[in-house]
Structure formats: structure tokens, C-alpha cells
A and B are shown apart, each in its own frame.
Chain A
Amino acid sequence: MTNRRNSPGKTVLLVVMTLPFLYPFAFLVATALKPLPEFQEDKLGWPDRPSFENISAVWDEVGLGQAMLNSLLAVGVGVVVTVLISAAGAFWFLQHHGRAANVLRSLVLLTMALPPPVFIIPLFVLMSAQGLTNNLLALGIVYAGWNAAFGLYLMHAYYRALPLEVLEAARVDGASLLQQFFYIILPLSRPALATLGVLAFLWSWSDLLLSVVLIQDPERRTVTVATALLADQYSTNIPKNAAGVLLALIPILAIFLLGQRYLARGIAAGVGK
């Protein structure tokens, strides 16, 4: 108790430290709402008359609205598939803990060492041979593959910590595997599923490399790619650039505010191992 002293000096220092973390976003909002001529005069201040013209321009002209939908589709598919296959796979590993199963599990976890820069170019070549480029659903599956090993790790660790007498009882009562999975395991592991879902969402939404390589059609671009390419087009029109970034940021903010709890818990859980 005594070490947790309420120190005003420390608080002030911490508040000062938050400034560099808040300012860029304040600047972003101020710039996005500022018409270009005003920005050229005054880069730092709040706009005299905040206007949404940049935001609506960027929504239409650049098709950020469409890009948003594209991201939602790809990332949505990715998250659902990640969660399902990780939870299902972890369930299998829960039931099988022989030497061979452990080796297999280690191998799958080892794929976390195969990062996107390593697999993306050949994946691109293989997918294009099958006609799967420019395909948002296929991109979602790629996201799932990318996140699944981590999902397996998370879900398996979580299952092992669960009290499984209920599962035993259900098995004895003759419940099928599917029933055990859907009616016992999944409900019990909701926090882990939520964490995995939120993490998978954020990682996939943020992805630039996979989507910039696998999608060439401008109408199928994801938000991250569209915003990045925006910078090419509008390198002198910074307010429009800022408006694009702001729009792209909103879903992330939403997920963050809703899912922050799970995120923090998930990271902490990973650490605790």
C-alpha cells in the first residue's frame, strides 16, 4: 500500500506524456475539417468554420465508402473463419494429447514464424493461377490462415484452463461432438472468442501488404489500401488526405471502444503463460 503513493508530480508527468499521443489525432480532426485554402494559411490551429466538404469529397471521389464495405466483407469473413477454425482445432487438441498430437500442434504454432512477407508473393502467384485475386472472400480466407495459428494457441490455452466436468458429464450422457462443441465449449469460452475476434479484426483491418498485393481492382480495394493510395493522389491536398485517414480510423475506434476490455485481457492472458 505504501508504494502506491498518490504523487502529483508523477500525474503531471503522465499527463504531459499523453499529449504526444493525443495531439496527432486532434491535428487530424482539425485538418480534416479545414478547407484547403485555410490550411495553407494556418496549419496548426482549429478551423474557423469546420466543414465536412473534405470528408464527403473523399467518400465519393475516392470511393472510401465502397472501400469500407470491401474491408468489412474481407475482414468479417476473416474473423468468422479464424474464430471458427481456431476454436474447432483447439477442441480437437483438447481431446488428443498424445505425443503425435503435441508435435502436430507445435508445427501449427510454428507457422506463426511464417510472416506475410514470406508467403505473400508465392501465395499471390498461386491464387492468381486459380483466379482468386481481386476476390474479397478469398482475401478473408487468407486473413484467417494468417491469424489461425495464434487463434489456436489462444483457444487451446483457454480451454485447458476451463473446468471441464460439464463436458465430461455431457459426454457420458451421449452428447455428440458437435453438441459438446457448440453447447458447452463455445459458451464457456466466450471471453477468449471475443478476444480472438477483436484481435483478428484489428490485425486484418490494419493489413496493407496482403490486400495491396492480392487486390488490384480499385473497386475492390480495402480501406487501408485506398487510404494509402490516397496519399499519392492528394499529396498537396493534405486536408483531403486527412479526411481519408479520419474516415478509415472510425471503425478502428469503434472496435477499440467496444472491445478494449477483451484486447487488454487477451494480451495479458498471452503474457501470463
Chain B
Amino acid sequence: MATRTQAPRTAPGATRRSGAVRAFSEALFLLPILAVVGFVLVVPTANAILHSFTNWNPGYESPFVGLDNYVELAKSDAFRQILKNQAFLLLGIPIWAILPLVVSVMLYERVPAPGLFRTVFFFPATVSPAIIGILFSFILAPDGPLNAAIRTAGPDSFAANWLADPNLVRPTLIAVLAWATMGTGVVIFSAALSTVPPELFEAAEMDGAGWWQRLFYVVLPTLRHVVELWVVILVISAFVAMFPWIFTLTRGGPGYLSTTLDYDIYQNALGFGYFGLAAAETVYLLVIVGVVITVGAGAFRRRGVEA
């Protein structure tokens, strides 16, 4: 879009030197971001990968151990539980994806002050996960307001140990995450919906399609790319953004039942001092994220060709 750069008018003979000077001064714009990203992200990651093959003792001698860390993780019951937890979390994706979609469509079909609703839904999405986690840790406490409300409204037995009961802790996490992510989803889908010509929906309505039919047969296909993008974001977040939730809500418990990969990396390194093990776990995480992104990007490209 930008037209070719034109060499500035300079005195003849000075062109070559000013060319080099120009390249250098241009590079000054690029270097800071390369340096910062390089030192903060790339170098440490490479470092982690290297150290995953050692018994890493930062600041002290770290002997080479080959694949021991990888094998230990693969054989560990705790690690297997963690992978199961991650898989369980993925079950939340349909909820985290469909719920904001439904709400966005409702807002799209005129209600008074849609912007106000969007603001109310969006605000929690902007609050730190850690803050929300702490807030919900006392709302969901055994003697907290949720249980208090349940006990006044219904049978005592419905009040539960939401965050400490092994059968409830993971579904509870999914619910809290639904609360926290809905707003972002609503904003994204609302933006996407606003680019859709209303005639599409009118046509469907006139054909007698009910609300849910319209949702599944008109809205979903039209917004398919956006929904896919949102799903990819959710899947990646389920692997790399869980730490603050686990830290504030459950600390990985009971046992390892709510421990996620990223929380376990922290726990192995700073809780146990097993830095090498944590590094190997990091590599496992990287591979998973890489696979997810590749599959996601592949899906986009394919659909792009079809559409």
C-alpha cells in the first residue's frame, strides 16, 4: 500500500554514504523491539530448552542428565493427572464459546442500551484473573455467600465445597472462567456481527426460522472465522493463562486435581526446586502450544481457501 520509497534529494556523490547512514538509522527503529523480545522471550526459552537436559541448579553446578527429566515426567502420576486436568478444561470451550455468542446475538437484535449491557459484561474481563480469583475464593468458600444464599433458598445439601471437593473443583473452575471470559467474547462477536449485513437474518426470519435455528444455521456459519479465532484463543489460554486462577483459587489442590501445566512449572521450580524438571515441562508445554497454533492456523488457511 505504501508506495516505493524515494531517495531524498541529496547532493550527487553523497548518495552511497547516506544510503548506509539511512539503513543504519532505519535499523534503529527495528533494533529495540528485536533486542527486548530477544532478551525477554527468545534467549530464556532457548535457555530452558538447553537446561531441560540437566539437573538444573541455577547459580550452581548443573550436571547433564540427558532425557531423565522428560522420562520422569512421562512416568509421573502427577503429570498424568495434570494432563487429564488440561483435557478436562478443554471441555469448557463449548461453554466459553457459545455463551458469548448467544449473548452477542441477543444484544444485536435490538434491546435498549446494548452498549450498557456490553459494558457490564465486559468489565470482569478486564480485571486481573488474580483479583477475580481472590474474589471468588471467598464467594465460593464453604461459609461464603454462595452457600449462604443456597441454604436460605433451598436444601442445605446443595451447598458444597466448590473449590475443595474433587468432583466439583474442575467444573467450578470452568464456571469461573466462563464468568471472566464472557465479556471479551461478547465484544469480539458484537464487533463481528456489526459487519454482517442485516438482510441475511431478515431472509432467514422471513423463511420462518426460529431463534435457535437462526443462531445455528445463519449466525454461526457467517461468523465461523471469528468463532474459530476465539476458540483458538481459548485453547491456548487454557494451557498458558491458568496460573493466576490456580494460584488464587486452589493452589493446584485437592492433591493434583486442579493443577495445570503452567502452575506445575512454577511449583516444580520454586516450590520444589526441581528447575530441570520444570524446564522439561516447559518444553512439553511449548510443543502443545505449537501443535494447537499449527492446527488452528491450518484450519484457517483451509477454510480461507474454501470461502
Contact = CB atoms under 8 A, between A and B. Distances in A.
Given A43-B145, A119-B41, A264-B187, A4 B1 contact: no
B45 A18 contact: no
A11 B261 contact: no
Interface in B86-110: 103, 106-110
Interface stretch (B69-77, B133-141, B155-163, B166-174): B133-141
A27 B139 contact: yes
Nearest to A181: B29
Given A89-B30, A92-B29, A122-B51, A6 B111 contact: yes
28 contacts: A4-B198, A6-B111, A14-B117, A27-B145, A44-B145, A44-B149, A85-B36, A88-B30, A89-B32, A92-B29, A92-B30, A95-B2, A114-B286, A115-B241, A116-B240, A117-B266, A121-B270, A121-B279, A122-B45, A125-B59, A126-B43, A160-B2, A176-B25, A206-B130, A242-B135, A268-B190, A271-B191, A271-B192
Contact of B109 (A7, A128, A224, A263): A7
A40 to B, nearest CB: 9
> What 7 A-B pairs have minimum CB-CB distances, sorted nearest first?
A145-B40, A268-B191, A206-B128, A115-B240, A117-B262, A89-B33, A4-B110
B243 to A, nearest CB: 5
Contacts of A94: 2
A238 B130 contact: no
B179 A20 contact: yes
Interface string A157-185: 00011001001100110101110010000
Interface stretch (A54-62, A189-197, A244-252): A244-252
Contacts of B108: 4
Contact of A208 (B182, B239, B243): B243
A121 B122 contact: no
Contact of B266 (A14, A92, A178, A209): A209
B289 interface: yes
Interface in A228-265: 228, 230-231, 238, 241-242, 244-245, 248-249, 252-253, 255-256, 260, 263-264
Interface string B43-57: 111011001000000
B31 to A, nearest CB: 9
Contacts of A111: 37, 41-42
Nearest to B141: A238
A100 interface: no
Given A18-B121, A89-B30, A171-B5, A231 B248 contact: yes
B121 A86 contact: no
Nearest to B99: A17
B1 A118 contact: no
A179 B5 CA distance: 16
A117 B120 contact: no
Contacts of A160: 1-2
Interface string A79-101: 00100111011011111100000
Contacts of A24: 124, 135-136, 139
B82 to A, nearest CB: 12
Interface of A: 1-7, 10-11, 13-14, 17-18, 20-22, 24, 27-28, 31, 43-44, 81, 84-86, 88-89, 91-96, 108, 111, 113-123, 125-126, 128-129, 141-142, 144-146, 148-149, 152, 160-161, 164, 167-168, 171-172, 174, 176-178, 181, 202, 205-209, 212-213, 224, 227-228, 230-231, 238, 241-242, 244-245, 248-249, 252-253, 255-256, 260, 263-264, 267-268, 271-272
A148 B8 contact: no
A228 B121 CA distance: 24
Contacts of B261: 117
Contacts of A171: 5-6, 8
A128 B47 CA distance: 14
Interface of B: 1-3, 5-6, 8-9, 22, 25-30, 32-34, 36-37, 39-45, 47-48, 51, 58-59, 103, 106-112, 117-124, 126-131, 133-139, 141, 143-145, 148-149, 179, 182-184, 187-188, 190-192, 195, 198, 201-202, 205, 226, 229, 236, 239-241, 243-244, 247-248, 261-262, 265-266, 269-270, 275, 278-279, 282, 285-286, 289-290, 293
B45 A119 contact: yes
A267 B187 contact: yes
A202 to B, nearest CB: 5
B145 A14 contact: no
Contacts of B103: 14, 17
A248 B128 contact: yes
B198 A1 contact: yes
A249 B60 CA distance: 41
A170 B5 CA distance: 11
B124 to A, nearest CB: 6
Contacts of A11: 111-112
A263 B226 contact: no
Contact of B144 (A43, A114, A227, A271): A43
Contacts of A43: 143-145, 148
